[in-house]
Amino acid sequence: MKLPKSMRLLAGAGLIALLAACSGGLIQGSARSQQPLNSTTVAALRTMGSSPQAGMVVRIFKEEKVLEVWKEKSDGTYGLFRSYDICAYSGEYGPKIAEGDRQAPEGFYTITPGLMNPNSNYYLAFNTGYPNKFDRAHGRTGANLMVHGACSSRGCYSMTDESIAEIYALARESLAGGNRSFQVQAFPFRMTGENLALYHDSDNLAFWRNIKVGYDHFEVTHRPPQWDVCGGEYVFDARAESGQPLDARAACPALVRDSNIESLVAAKEAQDNRAFEAKVASLEDAQQRQVEQAQRQAEQQAAAQARDAAVKETMDNIGESVGGFFGSLFGIQSQPSTPTELVNPPAQTVDASQAPQPQEPPANRS
């Protein structure tokens, strides 16, 4: 007999719960992508004025090795729900450029249901969608850049299995709740003026300034910015006056923007620019002091060496003068120049005419 649908759902939920209990809380096998959010997580969402089905934003910060999940609240703004430690990511600060460079991507990515991977070899995963429109406009290559479990990375963002299980479930429920996608924002660090100043001489500074605009849009509105690309750069919360799609490589046409958002972003940018300039000046001043200190140390070392050499020369001259004085005072002749002269002094010659003559013995008178 075929069970009613409601009973089948209950039976399925019971099986999932049983599998979770048998595997230390994490479901293995094909059912792992369907494990439900636990009651504590659901209650925490309700407390902040959200729900499992509400919109979702993921923010990633390489420097802190943290992945944040933001959830939409009842007023339409997003609040930070939870932060998860990133177990591992490969590469360094900066965007992914080419296949095989082992860089984890930076920028703005849109995750649709088709990018969710319930059968990942790394427990669970979702694809970042790299390369996106911006990446393609710059000829960047690579594929299958994921956020996944297993705590191992080759160009991806890797989480523990426990973390990716909850992140995946949050994403799954958000997509099932009627949201067509969720946004991933990946940054090298918090995009403050002070942090940018620390890398003011980086080749990536122009790119980071560009994605900072999107960062600022989210900071001042707490809503995910609508992003697009024209003229080889990201643009945020903007659309062409003509209503035509933007060409990623062509110059940006006249754009329509929200004046309120632009005003808030401009004020934040001005404040961050002042902080940037002050920090750069401080860094350059500190660097100049280090250079001057190194020069002073080098000069002091050279002066000390010169003094030592002068003292040695003076002492040598004094020694020679004293030796000459005492030699003349006591009639000390100059010493032989070679050791052999000391061992074998020259023989003295005697004049034969001045040598004493032998005497004859007296004659015998007997």
For the CA atoms of 353, 356, 357, 360, the dihedral, rounded to the nearest 10 degrees, stands at 160
Output DSSP code: residue 230: E
Active-site option among 22, 87, 148, 151? 148
The rounded distance, in Å, linking the Cα atoms of 3 and 9 is: 10
The rounded distance, in Å, linking the Cα atoms of 210 and 29 is: 42
- CA quadruple 78, 80, 85, 90: dihedral sign: positive
- Enumerate residues 6+ apart whose C-beta is below 8 A from 92: 103
The rounded distance, in Å, linking the Cα atoms of 356 and 350 is: 11
How do strand 56-61 and strand 182-187 relate by DSSP bridges? parallel
Active-site option among 156, 200, 222, 252? 156
Prior bond of 188 cis (ω within 30°) = no
Q: CA angle at residue 107 from 102 to 111, to 5 degrees?
A: 95
Written as six digits, the tokens of 352 are 């034969």
The rounded distance, in Å, linking the Cα atoms of 279 and 195 is: 9
Residue 81 near residue 67, CB atoms below 8 Å: no
Indicate the helix (H) or strand (E) that contains 191: none
The rounded distance, in Å, linking the Cα atoms of 57 and 110 is: 10
Known active-site residue 156: yes
- State the number of CA atoms in the 13 A half-sphere of 338 facing the CB: 5
Known active-site residue 87: no
Place of tokens 């004094």: 318
Catalytic residues: 148, 156
